[in-house]
A and B are shown apart, each in its own frame.
Chain A
Amino acid sequence: MSVALVILLFSAFLIFLFTGFPVAFVLGGVGVLFAVLGSVLADVWGYYDVAEIRSIGFVANRIFSTISNYSLIPMSMFIFMGYLLDRSGVAERLIAAMHKVLGRTPGGLSIAVVFIGVILAASTGIIGASVVLLSTIALPSMLNAGYARWLSAGTVGATGCLGILIPPSIMLVVMGDQLRLPVGDLFTGAILPGLLLALCFVSFIFIVALIRPETMPATKDSAERFDRRALWDLVGALVVPLVLVIAVLGSIVAGIASPTEASGIGAAGAMVLAKANGRLSWKELKDVCYATGRTVAFLYALIFGASCFSVVLRGYGGDEIIENALHFLSLGPNGTLILVLGIIFLLGFFLDWMEIVLIVAPLLMPILLQFGLDPIWVAVLIAICLQTSFLTPPVGMALFYIRKAAPAEFSLADIYKGAIPFVLLQLFVLVLVACFPQLVTGLL
């Protein structure tokens, strides 16, 4: 009976999800509907392994606990910082400079995109903003240069997602909160895997450029000359974000400041830099505040909705059912880890990182930790695995944003086809990090 009810709960969630109603409300609403059902089952049939309607009161308590959580403040600060950098013109300057430096190399533009993606990722980590930014500034030039459309779309999509893995990352902040792990350690642990992922992207592009040069022809435009001035432009464009990266990440990793403190400093730094670039009028600042407020609100709304869903799921005994099922399979530590990552990969086709981190990860994580696996390593593996969810159809946030921001020449087929090699690269890095835990624990 319990098993059937839990399956019903998840199915109801998926069905309502595809009506296109906001995910946060689907999670919360389905939770309430099942709490009502639970009360009926308890009062009428005397079946008590349910969540009753009164348990929605817990959700209000949990909402207060969430908004009063000091450790979640970096989420708002990093988003604020991200929007400020987005408006500061840093990325445009970078791509213009990179274009000059790398434009004449085969595949140079793609490599430049990855490079800028890493810089963006290390200074902030808002997927939507990064993908849209890269799409709008890089895809037109790649199109003009005659790059294969699928490859351009894939490069932009995959690279734009790096920010969620390479710290600072709002995903890691939320994971730290949900899995009760120190955010600073998660940040430190994710650095090498994130860079490794970027390195794999670059190597892949390089190899394709060698094998099939027609997909990424060198720029013939004589204006795009590589000279000393271009190099200085590049250095100039790099200084700004690098200062921020060093200030924020450096102070967290070196233990000078807590993530919340560092995020506040980063946001202040971004304000100063945007102002210095002449891009921060009062109106601009207000717009950045509004956009940040809305992004922060939608992320928290998801936490609230997921909180409701989780409370009801626990009332129905969902935790124990999943735990028992995994125990029943008795796969041992490695087998269970592979199974869990496989589940997360498959769920990633339909769900975003938020739902997975909020609902699925807290269910599966304790089971893995019972085997004595390193929690930071497991969390980073999950984080790498979640990278794929952005690129896997039908529900992939990166795909969605490219569709919105790419020039009309890019078809859905281009975008989907481009995602495939990068998803495979992500899985390759997942395997690497699984085989070599030092990649995570080495810097801790």
Chain B
Amino acid sequence: AGSTRLEIQSAWPLTLPASGASAEHFAKQLEVSGADSLKVRLYSAGKLVPSLQIFDAVQQGTLDAGYTSPLYVAGRFPAVQLFGGVPFGPDALEYVGWIYNGGGLDIWREIYAKQGVVTVPCGIMDSEAGGWYKFEINSIDDLKGKKIRFAGLAGEVMKKSGASVVLLGGGDIYPNLERGVIDGTEFSMPAIDAAMGFEKVAPYYYLPGWHQPAAITELIINKRKWDRMSAQQHALIENACKDTMLWTVTSTSVANSEAIEKFKAAGTEIKSFPPSVLEKFKSSTDEVLKEQSEKNADFKRVLDSLNAYREKVALWSKNRS
């Protein structure tokens, strides 16, 4: 198909570790391997279209492709959230296993195919942290009435745990936490949290990030555009994405460790959720997933596929280390 031009927008600033930086890595990778065959023009978050609307723009063909998270289309396709990161869900290894060897990618592509969009998994992020809090969490009752910023399925879990869940844009989290408008927030992994300076305004940092043990980012491409490309071009893109996955998941290990070190030095107390609290989160998560499955057939289908795979590998995943 000769040389193809591909306009891509990232859902995150290109300087953001793991997410935006992965988009940049992917584009650079393609620049080298794609050489004359693919001409990529990568835009940072919000340059052309707001992050939450990348899917629409790609669907309509206004944008050729987007580097984004499946979590951002939860309002359109609730099932797709399960590809973006699930509370008490799979870790990175299990996730990738399910996507490539457990039929995950096939269902995912099937859901998008009706929309005229092709997805290529293009990054997998290590576990997030459990969030920043201005209060100690010793029992589930400590969450009662607390104003907490949490998104998506995990937000529902928090609601079931008695917290009052608040919606806030990225830039508004810090000042609202600082002033006590909110009492706690989930954000991202330590390496990314470090850039936000939360350690200055919240004394407790909780681990682990039960709400998202791993997250997948995707490259979505307009199907007409995709179909006009050759098999070689498809392979170039898919391979660059697989390379990016490996890069993403390993790009933050050192930085996460260093960030926790930095938080400790700043006087942050690094804490673990007590088992009783995690148990309650887990049972609430099961409820939330069940409710969503009842509401949406696709959601149930994806969840069943994911659970089936996890069961298949359970004897090994639980005992390997």
User: Which residues does A use to contact B, with CB under 8 Å?
Assistant: 48, 54-55, 57-58, 61-62, 64-65, 70-71, 176, 180-185, 254-258, 311, 314-315, 319
From A54, A61, A311, contact of B61 by CB (8 A):
A54
A58 engages B49 (CB within 8 Å) = yes
- A interface, by DSSP: helix, strand, loop or mixed? helix
Given contacts A54-B62, A58-B62, contact A258 B181 (CB under 8 A): yes
A57 engages B53 (CB within 8 Å) = no
Given contacts A57-B60, A258-B176, A258-B181, contact A71 B169 (CB under 8 A): yes
- How many Å lie between the Cα of A184 and that of B62 in the bound state? 35
Interface size on B, residues (CB 8 A): 27
B178 engages A58 (CB within 8 Å) = no
Cβ of B43 under 8 Å from chain A: yes
Cβ of B48 under 8 Å from chain A: yes
On chain B, the residues within 8 Å of A62 by CB distance are: 49-50
From B39, B48, B56, B61, contact of A314 by CB (8 A):
B48
Nearest-neighbour CB distance to chain B for A251, whole angstroms, equals 10
A70 engages B167 (CB within 8 Å) = yes
On chain A, the residues within 8 Å of B39 by CB distance are: 48
A61 engages B53 (CB within 8 Å) = yes
From A61, A183, A184, A255, contact of B49 by CB (8 A):
A61
- How many Å lie between the Cα of A315 and that of B43 in the bound state? 10
- How many Å lie between the Cα of A335 and that of B170 in the bound state? 31
A71 engages B172 (CB within 8 Å) = yes
Apart from A58-B57, A61-B56, A184-B176, what are 5 other A-B pairs with CB-CB below 8 Å?
A: A55-B48, A180-B171, A182-B176, A255-B178, A256-B181
Cβ of B312 under 8 Å from chain A: no
What 9 A-B pairs come out closest when comparing CB atoms?
A: A255-B179, A57-B62, A65-B50, A182-B175, A61-B53, A58-B49, A180-B171, A61-B49, A58-B48
B47 engages A181 (CB within 8 Å) = no
A61 engages B57 (CB within 8 Å) = yes
Nearest-neighbour CB distance to chain B for A444, whole angstroms, equals 9
Which of B43, B174, B175, B180: most chain A CB closer than 10 A? B175
Identity of the chain A residue whose Cβ is nearest the Cβ of B62 in the assembled complex = A57
On chain B, the residues within 8 Å of A64 by CB distance are: 50, 53
Identity of the chain A residue whose Cβ is nearest the Cβ of B9 in the assembled complex = A58
Interface set, chain B 26-72, CB cutoff 8 A to A: 39, 43, 47-50, 52-53, 56-57, 60-63
A255 engages B180 (CB within 8 Å) = yes
Nearest-neighbour CB distance to chain A for B196, whole angstroms, equals 12
B53 engages A65 (CB within 8 Å) = yes
On chain B, the residues within 8 Å of A258 by CB distance are: 172, 176, 181
Name 15 A/B residue pairs within 8 A (Cβ), A-sorted. A54-B62, A57-B62, A61-B56, A61-B57, A64-B53, A65-B50, A65-B52, A181-B171, A182-B171, A255-B180, A256-B179, A258-B172, A258-B181, A314-B48, A315-B48
Identity of the chain A residue whose Cβ is nearest the Cβ of B171 in the assembled complex = A180
- How many Å lie between the Cα of A61 and that of B53 in the bound state? 6
Identity of the chain B residue whose Cβ is nearest the Cβ of A362 in the assembled complex = B46
On chain B, the residues within 8 Å of A176 by CB distance are: 171
- How many Å lie between the Cα of A57 and that of B49 in the bound state? 9
On chain B, the residues within 8 Å of A181 by CB distance are: 171
On chain A, the residues within 8 Å of B179 by CB distance are: 184, 254-256
Which of B60, B62, B169, B179: most chain A CB closer than 10 A? B179
Nearest-neighbour CB distance to chain B for A270, whole angstroms, equals 23
Identity of the chain A residue whose Cβ is nearest the Cβ of B47 in the assembled complex = A314
On chain B, the residues within 8 Å of A184 by CB distance are: 175-176, 179
A182 engages B48 (CB within 8 Å) = no
A182 engages B49 (CB within 8 Å) = no
Nearest-neighbour CB distance to chain A for B172, whole angstroms, equals 6
- How many Å lie between the Cα of A77 and that of B52 in the bound state? 25
Nearest-neighbour CB distance to chain A for B14, whole angstroms, equals 11
Cβ of B271 under 8 Å from chain A: no
Identity of the chain A residue whose Cβ is nearest the Cβ of B60 in the assembled complex = A57
B63 engages A58 (CB within 8 Å) = yes
- How many Å lie between the Cα of A70 and that of B168 in the bound state? 9
On chain B, the residues within 8 Å of A65 by CB distance are: 50, 52-53
Nearest-neighbour CB distance to chain B for A65, whole angstroms, equals 4
Identity of the chain A residue whose Cβ is nearest the Cβ of B50 in the assembled complex = A65
Given contacts A184-B179, A185-B175, contact A319 B47 (CB under 8 A): yes
Cβ of B5 under 8 Å from chain A: yes
- How many Å lie between the Cα of A181 and that of B173 in the bound state? 11
On chain A, the residues within 8 Å of B47 by CB distance are: 314, 319
On chain A, the residues within 8 Å of B178 by CB distance are: 255
Nearest-neighbour CB distance to chain B for A337, whole angstroms, equals 21
- How many Å lie between the Cα of A180 and that of B47 in the bound state? 13
B62 engages A55 (CB within 8 Å) = yes
- How many Å lie between the Cα of A84 and that of B176 in the bound state? 29
On chain B, the residues within 8 Å of A57 by CB distance are: 57, 60, 62
Identity of the chain A residue whose Cβ is nearest the Cβ of B52 in the assembled complex = A65
Nearest-neighbour CB distance to chain A for B168, whole angstroms, equals 8
B48 engages A180 (CB within 8 Å) = no
Interface set, chain B 172-191, CB cutoff 8 A to A: 172, 174-176, 178-181
On chain B, the residues within 8 Å of A55 by CB distance are: 48, 62
B175 engages A314 (CB within 8 Å) = no
Chain B 124-151 near chain A by CB (<8 Å), digits 1 or 0: 0000000000000000000000000000
Which of B53, B57, B170, B172: most chain A CB closer than 10 A? B172
- How many Å lie between the Cα of A269 and that of B200 in the bound state? 34
- How many Å lie between the Cα of A58 and that of B58 in the bound state? 10
- How many Å lie between the Cα of A234 and that of B161 in the bound state? 53
- How many Å lie between the Cα of A18 and that of B48 in the bound state? 28
A311 engages B53 (CB within 8 Å) = no
Given contacts A54-B61, A54-B62, A184-B179, contact A61 B50 (CB under 8 A): yes
